[in-house]
Amino acid sequence: METYVMALDQGTTSSRAILFNRAGEIVARAQYPFRQIYPQPGWVEHDPMEIWATEKRALAEAVDAAHIDPRRIAAIGITNQRETTILWDARTGEPVHNAIVWQCRRTAPECDRLKAEGLGETVTDKTGLLIDAYFSGTKIRWMLDNVPGVRERAERGELRAGTVDSWLIWNLTGGKVHVTDYSNASRTMLFNIHTLQWDEELCRAVGVPMSLLPQPRPNSEVYGAVAPGIPGLEALAGIPICGSAGDQAAALFGQACFRPGQAKNTYGTGCFTLMNVGAAPVRSRNGLVTSVGWCLNGELTYALEGSVFNAGSAIQWLRDELKLISSAPECDRLAESVPDSGGVYLVPAFTGLGAPYWDMYARGTIVGLTRGTTRAHIARATLDAIAFEVTDLVLAMQADAPCPVTTLRVDGGASVSDIMMQTQADLLRLPVDRPAMVETTAFGAAALAGLAAGVWSGTEELERLRRSQHVFAPLRDGEACAADYRRWKRAVERSTAWAERET
């Protein structure tokens, strides 16, 4: 009898549930958006209860849409927006504050303080990361210091802290299980990626009590089961939750990048390029970071990663704030109506610049405007900017990694854009491989859970499930692409260090 695996894909702008069969095909799905909260410029928050409510609703709806006996769901896997941080009451489950989202820049001054204290080398040596407001540690510290009474409650052991994976698992198990997986833990700036434990020295330096933190666990094992009595999920009680990975590690796994040198980029709200570097971490010298990709059957896989904070969000900005387009596909149609951007370069540093620049004080800019600039040129410049950002990451990766990137596997919502994928191939001078099933992040979570539940036998079987939908080969003249890239770097220079530092 056919068995199924459910993936909960909790992203930055929506909560999704996708049911897969053993062939890796989508059987049913549901998706619900939730609010983006911007209390101040550069600050981004989510309502944790809204995250849980939308994810729970998506899960229930996907099961209903599949028209199957829920007992045939062998496992649930979770993947999530990483770094986004929640602090909640261990008894009531009530959050003490909105979630502080990975994009949020509010802790930049705290990061400056840690750098000034000389903690940078220690952080990189132990965690593989750089000190930046992107990561979770200083977000926890901010809530402890700025929400009245919270530090005292934390010291009394009344609170729990975690990323969205921990929040979902805690709620799904009825508050019985407080865990995180190694890939999510390694994005906190508090986790030692060599010992696979929370680091006492870093927790003390950042100001986070270790008692708040979830237990770090491998990515493919049983963490717990869906508790009975959860409204709307009664039929799922007892189903094991047995796979978890942060969204980018899940996408690397879902793209079947199981061998060192294989790389993928996810074009989502941000852009995230990851490369499998094998069983030993690689220390970046070019502005990248190192994380645990996954731990499977006791074997560790590390990933070299570059993260861009704003990519698909730039297209949303054209639609929602500027009203230049009415939908994301319209951006493609406009961009295709002009031969190039007309000399316009857009740097979408709305919340600073991530890799390889790591400038918390950069802000978005558009340069090269003339009286002849049209909204089509701006649309084209927006798509070009996303491809330029990924080029930055892959070039840094090529300089760091012990083996070359030969093909870039791609996924994420914006990867459906043919014009942008062709631009990407032209800039990188590499094939860009788009899979037939682009829900690779969700499938990665499902695959990790399915392996733990015995649905699939191993990575060899998973690798056979992947199919390419289109491989984009470089077409444009290489020298012209190189000239475009040089002008992009000039545009980036004009966006850096724009916001004034707080003193």
Degrees, nearest 5: CA angle 16-242-46 = 35
Beta bridge partners of 79: 9, 245
Q: What is the pLDDT of residues 309-332, one digit of tens each?
A: 899 999 999 999 999 999 989 999
Question: What does the pLDDT read at residue 502?
Answer: 63
Q: What is the pLDDT of residues 461-500, one digit of tens each?
A: 999 999 999 999 999 999 999 999 999 999 999 999 898 7
Rounded Cα–Cα distance for residues 470 and 432 (Å): 8
- Token readout for 387 is 């491809």
- Token readout for 485 is 């890239």
Beta bridge partners of 100: 45, 85
pLDDT surpassing 60 at residue 503: no
Question: What does the pLDDT read at residue 261?
Answer: 87
**Mean pLDDT for the stretch of residues 271-286:** 91
Question: What does the pLDDT read at residue 187?
Answer: 96
* 15 close to 54: Cβ distance less than 8 angstroms: yes
| Banded model confidence at residue 423, pLDDT cuts 50, 70, 90 | very high
Domains along the chain with CATH numbers:
312-349+361-388+485-495 (3.30.420.40)
Rounded Cα–Cα distance for residues 331 and 325 (Å): 6
| Banded model confidence at residue 406, pLDDT cuts 50, 70, 90 | confident
pLDDT surpassing 70 at residue 387: yes
- Measured CA distances, 209 to 76, 128, 203 (Å): 30, 21, 7
Question: What does the pLDDT read at residue 499?
Answer: 86
Question: What does the pLDDT read at residue 299?
Answer: 94
Can you tell me whether residue 290 is helix, strand or coil? Answer: strand
Q: What is the pLDDT of residues 327-385, one digit of tens each?
A: 989 999 999 999 999 999 999 999 899 889 989 889 999 999 999 999 999 999 999 99
For residue 224, the number of C-alpha atoms closer than 13 Å in the C-beta half-sphere is 21
How many Cβ atoms are within 10 Å of 330's Cβ, its own excluded? 16
Rounded Cα–Cα distance for residues 306 and 399 (Å): 13
Question: What does the pLDDT read at residue 74?
Answer: 97
Indicate yes or no: pTM above 0.85. Answer: yes
Q: What's the mean per-residue pLDDT of the chain?
A: 94
Q: Helices 418-428 and 375-400 sit at what angle, rounded to 10 degrees?
A: 40
* 73 close to 63: Cβ distance less than 8 angstroms: yes
Question: What does the pLDDT read at residue 288?
Answer: 93
Closest CA to 132 of 312, 305, 319: 305
| Banded model confidence at residue 252, pLDDT cuts 50, 70, 90 | very high
Question: What does the pLDDT read at residue 197?
Answer: 97
**Mean pLDDT for the stretch of residues 199-220:** 96
